[in-house]
Structure 1
Amino acid sequence: MRLSDLTTMRVGGEIADLVEAESAQQAAEAYERLVRTGAEFIVLGGGSNTVASDDPFAGTALLMRTRGFEVLDETDDAVTVRAQAGETWDDLVAMSVERGWSGIEAMSGIPGSVGAAPIQNIGAYGQEVAETLVAVEFLSAETLEVQRLEAADLELEYRNSAIKSGSLTGLVLSVELRLRKADGQSAPIRYGQLATSLGAETGDRRPLADVRRSVLELRASKGMVLSDDPDSVSAGSFFTNPIVSKAFTHSLPEDAPRFAAAPKTRADGGETEAFKLSAAWLIERAGIEKGFSLGTGRAAISSKHTLAITNTGGATGEEVAELARYVQIRVLSEFGVQLVNEPVLVGLEI
Structure 2
Amino acid sequence: MTAALATLTTMRVGGPPRAMVTATTEAELIEAVRSVDEAGEPLLVVGGGSNLLVADEGFPGTVVRVATRGITVPSASACGGVLATVAAGETWDDVVAHACEEGWSGIEALSGIPGATGATPVQNVGAYGQEVAQTIASVRVWDRHEKRVRTMFSADLDFSYRHSVLKESMLGPDADAGAVTPRHVVLDVSFQLRPTELSQPIGYADLARGLDVAVGDRVPLARAREAVLDQRRRRGMVLDAQDHDTWSCGSFFTNPILPVAQLEELVARAADRLGPDGPVPPQFPSADGATVKTSAAWLIDKAGYTKGYGTLEGRPAGLSTKHTLALTNRGSATAADVLALAREIRDGVEEAFGVRLVNEPVLVGLHL
2:362: which partner in 1? 344
1:211, 1:169 → 2: CA distance?
36
**Matched residue of 2:159: which SS?**
coil
List alignment gaps of at least 5 residues for structure 1.
Answer: 264-271
Report the equivalent of 2:331: 313
Query: Is contact 1:243-1:261 (8 Å) kept?
Result: no
Match of 1:275 among 292, 304, 307: 292
Aligned with 1:216: secondary structure? helix
- Structure 2 unaligned spans of 5+: 171-181, 271-278
Deviation at 1:246, TM superposition (A): 2.3
The residue that corresponds to 2:142 in the other structure is 139
Distance 2:213 2:37 in 1: 51
Cα deviation for residue 260 of structure 1 reads 2.3
Contact 1:137 1:147 survives alignment (8 Å): yes
2:107 aligned residue: 104
Distance in 2 between the 1:46 and 1:200 partners? 34
Residue 250 of structure 2 aligns to a residue whose secondary structure is strand
Tell me, in whole angstroms, the C-alpha distance in 1 between the residues paired with 2:91 and 2:245: 21
Q: Quote the offset at 1:296 in angstroms.
A: 6.6
% identical equivalent positions: 46
More displaced 10-residue stretch of structure 1: 69-78 or 205-214: 69-78
Map of 2:68 onto structure 1: 66
Cα distance between partner residues in 2 of 1:208 and 1:56: 41
Match of 1:333 in 2: 351
- For the Cα contact (< 8 Å) 1:290–1:306, is it kept in 2? yes
- 1:291 maps to 308
TM-score (norm: length of structure 2): 0.90
* 2:86 aligned counterpart, secondary structure: strand
- In structure 2, which of residues 189, 206, 215 is the aligned counterpart of residue 202 of structure 1? 215
Shift of 1:247: 2.6
Q: Report the more deviating stretch, 285-294 or 203-212.
A: 285-294
Residues 197-236 of structure 1 aligned to structure 2 (within 5 Å): 197-227=210-240, 228-236=242-250
Q: Would you say the 8 A contact 1:222–1:304 is kept in 2?
A: yes
Does the 8 Å CA contact 2:169/2:184 hold for their aligned counterparts?
no
Question: 1:247 aligned to 2:261?
Answer: yes
Describe the shift of the 1:262–1:47 C-alpha distance in structure 2 as closer, same or farther (beyond 3 A). farther
Deviates more, 1:114-123 or 1:222-231: 222-231
Q: What is the TM-score of this pair, normalised by structure 1?
A: 0.95
Deviation of 1:262 after TM superposition, in Å, equals 5.3
Report the Cα distance in structure 2 between the residues aligned to 1:37 and 1:16, rounded to whole angstroms.
14
Matched, 1:114 2:123: no
Residue 154 (1) aligns with residue 179 (2): no
Is the partner of 1:237 in helix, strand or coil?
Answer: coil
Quote the offset at 1:160 in angstroms. Answer: 0.8
Q: From the two aligned structures, give the one with the greater strand fraction.
A: 1
Q: Secondary structure at the match of 1:236?
A: coil
**Retained in 1: the 8 A contact 2:199–2:221?**
yes
Matches of residues 43-54 of structure 1 in structure 2 within 5 Å?
43-54=45-56
Contact (CA 8 Å) 1:8, 1:235: kept in 2 or not? yes
Quote the residue 1:260 is aligned against.
Answer: 285
